[in-house]
């Protein structure tokens, strides 16, 4: 799923392409992509884009109207945005196409699960209703961060990826943040001391800033290869490969459709965290310490 760094770059490049230009046509090529009926999506046609912003993991296009109208794009796990010059053909598998005089913003989704969506809303209140109200990681103060994080007693992995706690962080960057902070993904928020909270806050800002800058440099005219797995990540998607800090093999916890990656030596004091499926299978022979694996 595109997270804060990816979405931030999408927003920047989409703004360059669309702000100041009128939408000439909106083609909805999937019966599932539009999740709202009022106001009708056709009301956006002919209106000028006056701004593009990020709302959590969503890309929001603002159109000139009184009150303002918004097209909210939620890419979910497999959705992506592309820019096609006016003369370039749009792929058949596109979910939606926003056509302008000079080109088209194209929304696609890999797979068949149809999770990506569009919402058309009017007025600041309607847009606000779509906001989970998580803190913005790059602008919130340390005090606000600590207060929000410890309001409940959850694992750090859950807290970082909860959109009601923090805005725009998902599976990929939470792994990177926790590795940078040298904290276990299963540590409980209310068990952290002030030093651990400060490390987590600093790591969050460093990782998101660094990756946003890196992806901005790589994007060129428009992002082409948006992925949850990036060359240069420390642990995410690197199960079994050496940790760039200590060299120990990166570990994982599998659950549902996701996995958490971490370094046992850097983050859990050498303890290998139980993987529900594997530990149930191996039982007593499941390795409890990273040194048993090396």
Name the percent of the chain lying above pLDDT 70. 93
Q: Report pLDDT for 228.
A: 78
Q: Report pLDDT for 287.
A: 54
Point out the least confidently predicted range of 61-75, 80-94, 149-163, 188-202: 80-94
Cα first-last separation, the chain: 33
Can you list the positions of beta strands (E) in 56-102?
A: 58-63, 69-74, 79-85, 96-100
pLDDT of 282 higher than 50 = no
Q: Within a 10 A sphere around the Cβ of 82, how many other Cβ atoms?
A: 18
Can you list the positions of beta strands (E) in 16-78?
A: 25-28, 49-55, 58-63, 69-74
Q: Within a 10 A sphere around the Cβ of 220, how many other Cβ atoms?
A: 9
Average pLDDT over residues 128-150: 97
* Sign of the CA dihedral with 127 first, then 99, 52, and 166 last: positive
Cα–chain-centroid distance for residue 147? Answer: 23
Average pLDDT over residues 7-13: 97
Instruction: Report the alpha-carbon angle 219-225-226, nearest 5.
Output: 90
Q: What would the pLDDT profile of 21-33 be if each residue is shown by its tens digit?
A: 999 999 999 989 9
Q: Report pLDDT for 113.
A: 78
Q: Within a 10 A sphere around the Cβ of 27, how many other Cβ atoms?
A: 13
Give me the residue label for tokens 């990177």. Answer: 176
Give me the residue label for tokens 């992806």. Answer: 215
Please answer whether residues 46 and 23 qualify as being in contact, where contact means their C-beta atoms are separated by less than 8 angstroms. Answer: yes
DSSP letter assigned to residue 166: B
Q: Report pLDDT for 293.
A: 52
Element (H, E) at 253: strand 251-255
Q: Report pLDDT for 279.
A: 47
59 by DSSP, 3-state: which?
strand
Q: Report pLDDT for 257.
A: 72
Q: What would the pLDDT profile of 208-232 be if each residue is shown by its tens digit?
A: 999 999 999 999 999 988 887 899 9
pTM attached to this predicted model: 0.92
Separation between Cα atoms, residue 99 and residue 105, nearest integer Å: 7
Give the confidence band of 13 by pLDDT, cuts at 50, 70, 90.
very high
Please answer whether residues 294 and 240 qualify as being in contact, where contact means their C-beta atoms are separated by less than 8 angstroms. Answer: no
Q: Residue 94's beta-bridge partner residues?
A: none
The CA-atom distances, in angstroms, between 2 and each of 107, 146, 207, 263 are 13, 25, 15, 23
Give me the residue label for tokens 């990273």. Answer: 290
Q: Report pLDDT for 276.
A: 56
Element (H, E) at 178: helix 171-181
Q: Residue 101's beta-bridge partner residues?
A: none
Query: Where do the domains of the chain lie, and which CATH numbers do they carry?
Result: 4-128 (3.20.190.10), 142-292 (1.10.8.50)
């Amino acid at each position: 799923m595109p997270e804060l760094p990816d979405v931030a770059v999408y927003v920047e490049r989409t703004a360059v392409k669309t702000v100041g230009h009128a939408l000439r046509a909106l083609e909805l090529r999937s019966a599932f992509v539009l999740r709202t009926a009022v106001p009708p999506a056709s009301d956006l046609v002919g209106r000028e884009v006056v701004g593009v912003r990020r709302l959590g993991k969503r890309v929001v296009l603002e159109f000139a109207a009184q009150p303002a109208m918004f097209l909210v794009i939620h890419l979910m796990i497999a959705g992506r945005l592309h820019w096609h010059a006016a003369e370039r053909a749009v792929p058949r598998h596109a979910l939606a196409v926003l056509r302008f005089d000079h080109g088209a913003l194209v929304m696609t989704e890999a797979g068949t699960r149809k999770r990506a969506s569009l919402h058309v809303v009017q007025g600041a209140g309607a847009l606000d209703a779509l906001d989970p109200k998580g803190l913005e990681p790059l602008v919130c103060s340390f005090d606000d961060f600590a207060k929000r994080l410890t309001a409940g007693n959850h694992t750090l992995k859950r807290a970082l990826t909860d959109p009601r706690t923090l805005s725009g962080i998902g599976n990929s960057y939470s792994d990177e943040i926790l590795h940078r902070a040298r904290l276990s993904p299963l540590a409980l928020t209310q068990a952290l001391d002030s030093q651990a909270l400060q490390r987590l806050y600093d790591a969050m800002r460093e990782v998101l800033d660094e990756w946003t800058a890196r992806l901005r440099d790589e994007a060129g005219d428009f992002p082409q290869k948006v992925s949850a797995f990036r060359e240069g990540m420390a642990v995410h998607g690197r199960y079994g490969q050496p940790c760039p800090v200590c060299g120990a093999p990166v570990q994982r916890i599998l659950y549902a459709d996701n996995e958490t990656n971490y370094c046992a030596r850097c983050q859990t004091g050498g303890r290998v965290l139980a993987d529900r499926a594997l530990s149930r299978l191996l039982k007593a022979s499941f390795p409890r310490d990273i040194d048993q694996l090396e």
